[in-house]
Amino acid sequence: MRVVIVKDYEQMSRTAALLIAKQLRSKPSSVLGFATGSTPLGTYKELIRMHRREGLDFSHARTFNLDEYFRLDPSHPQSYHTFMFENLFNKINVNPDRISIPDGMTEDVENFCADYERRIKQAGGLDLQLLGIGRDGHVGFNEPGSSLGSRTRLKTLAEETVRDNARFFKDKKEVPRLAITMGVGTILEARQLVMLASGEGKADAVKRSIEGPVTAQVTASALQLHPSVTVVADEGAASLLMHRRYYVYVEKMAEKYEADVGI
Ligand code: F6R
């Protein structure tokens, strides 16, 4: 696991965007997995900038989003559909036919989820999945107790997550309690994972996921089982890491020898 500790949110965003751009440039038809929430917003801004200024081309890419609220219409201002189109898809040249976001309005959840998994496979699997992390250590909406082998399915959000998400809703009663999310097993099948964390509020979750035991109680800890993970954390999010200095040293060595010595 590569742990990149950067100064602040801007550097985290820039680092993540560079990793995504590298993937896309090496394989223009990449299958990219995207996340929502506050954390990746800066990354998306930087990708938009790279598209406009540096010609980063998304026209051959396919995208799959991690999750979507259940029973929230895609046109709702807080749906993850709206989020993705407003903050990224409308501003880059991705083909709308190649965008997949779970359908929170589906009448047949089980079939929808099985089909979502099938579509990811048919696309050749995810080349790179971008992840945020919840304060309870969730990735996607795989809340504590989610099976580490779980697949795309309907999940009940933890109270803490509902409270955290309430900041985006005018009427607190509107905050969804359920979401369709890729499972931990689905996420682990991506060829490359990039997890972002910013701010001290995430420090405990980051510590438990990187340096704690692998446990379904902290689903981000399952990333320890994956051969190609980069965690990009700012100073605040990395502040509780025991081996912080070593991670910084590894990155310096990687720079010096121009090699991936940390993975
Ligand atoms: C969003 C998602 C969630 C968020 C997490 C952190 O698609 O899957 O796991 O990444 O809840 O959210 P923020 O970034 O808002 O702190």
Ligand 1 pocket, residue 127 CB under 6 Å:
no
Segment 102-155, tens digit of pLDDT? 999 999 999 999 999 999 999 999 999 999 999 999 999 999 999 999 999 999
Ligand 1 pocket, residue 84 CB under 6 Å:
no
CB of 125 within 8 A of CB of 31? yes
DSSP 85-108: HHHTGGGS---GGGEE---TT-S-
Residue 258: which pLDDT band, with cuts at 50, 70 and 90? confident
Ligand 1 pocket, residue 183 CB under 6 Å:
no
The answer to whether the predicted template modeling score (pTM) of the entire model surpasses 0.95 is: yes
DSSP letter assigned to residue 237:
T
H helices of the chain, in order, are: 9-26, 41-54, 80-87, 109-122, 159-165, 184-188, 203-211, 244-257
Region of 55 (left: φ > 0; alpha: ψ -120 to 50; beta: rest) is left
Ligand 1 geometric centre to CA of 253 (Å): 31
Residue 172: which pLDDT band, with cuts at 50, 70 and 90? confident
Segment 20-64, tens digit of pLDDT? 999 999 999 999 999 999 999 999 999 999 999 999 999 999 999
Residue 181 has a pLDDT of 98
Sign of CA dihedral 245, 246, 249, 250: negative
Ligand 1 geometric centre to CA of 257 (Å): 34
Ligand 1 pocket, residue 137 CB under 6 Å:
no
H or E element, residue 174? none
Segment 173-200, tens digit of pLDDT? 899 999 999 999 999 999 999 999 999 9
Closest approach atom of ligand 1 to CA 201 = 16
Segment 84-97, tens digit of pLDDT? 999 999 999 999 99
51 is catalytic: no
pLDDT above 70 covers a percentage of the chain that reads 100
